[in-house]
Chain A
C-alpha cells in the first residue's frame, strides 16, 4: 500500500517570499502524484499532477512541483507567494489498476502574512 507524509502542518510565510511545501511518499510500485488545494469553506481543487514525462510540473498560478524518484519526494514550490495563496495544500498519490483510489497526506496550511 502507498502512503504520503506531509511533515509540516503549518507554514507561515511573508507575502512575496518563496515557499516550499514538502511531500514524501512510499510505494512499492510506480505512482502518480497530485497536489490539491483547499481554500476556506471549499472542497479540494487539483493544483497540479505528475503522471509521466518531465519531472517538473507547473500550475497556472505559479506553483511548481518536482518529482524526485530517488528521494521519493514531490515538493511544492512557489518563488513569490500572494495573500490569495493562503489555503491548505494536500499531497496525494495513486497507483495504476483498481478504480481511482487516491491516498492523501494530512495537509499543510499555508499562511501568507502581509
Chain B
C-alpha cells in the first residue's frame, strides 16, 4: 500500500451505533488530520495530530472521538451520531517541519475518504 488509505470506504450506521473509521499513511509523515466534507461547504478541519499529540480540536462535538496510537495510524470513533453528520470524512497527512510551529508550506496528502451515512 502506498500513500494514505482509509477504511471502510462506505459506512451506513444508525444513530445508536458505535463505529470507527481508520486511516493509515505510508509516507513517513508526522502529522495527520481529519476533515469533514459536506456538499456545498468548505472542507472542515476536525482534528490535527502532530507527532501523535493532538494540537487542534476544532469545536467538534464529543460524539466524534479521535485516536492516534502512532504516527502512521489515525482513528475516528463515532457514537450516537446524528443524520447531519452524514458526509465524506477525509484523512490527510503531512510532514510537519516543526511540532507546533509549521511553515505553512507543507503539502497535505489525502486519503480517498469514507462516505458515512447516518440513518
Contacts and interface: CB of A to CB of B under 8 A. Distances in A.
B102 interface: yes
A43 B90 contact: yes
Given A32-B104, A49-B107, A100 B4 contact: no
The DSSP consensus for interface residues of chain B is loop
A26 B43 CA distance: 17
Contacts of B92: 43-44
B48 interface: yes
Interface string B92-115: 101010011111111111111100
Nearest to B112: A43
Nearest to A88: B37
B-side interface size class: 20 to 34
A99 B110 contact: no
A83 interface: no
Nearest to B91: A43
Given A4-B42, A101-B48, A101-B56, A95 B104 contact: yes
A98 interface: yes
B116 to A, nearest CB: 14
Per CB-CB distance, the 9 closest pairs between chain A and chain B, nearest first, are: A43-B110, A104-B43, A96-B104, A44-B110, A94-B104, A99-B102, A100-B102, A43-B112, A100-B106
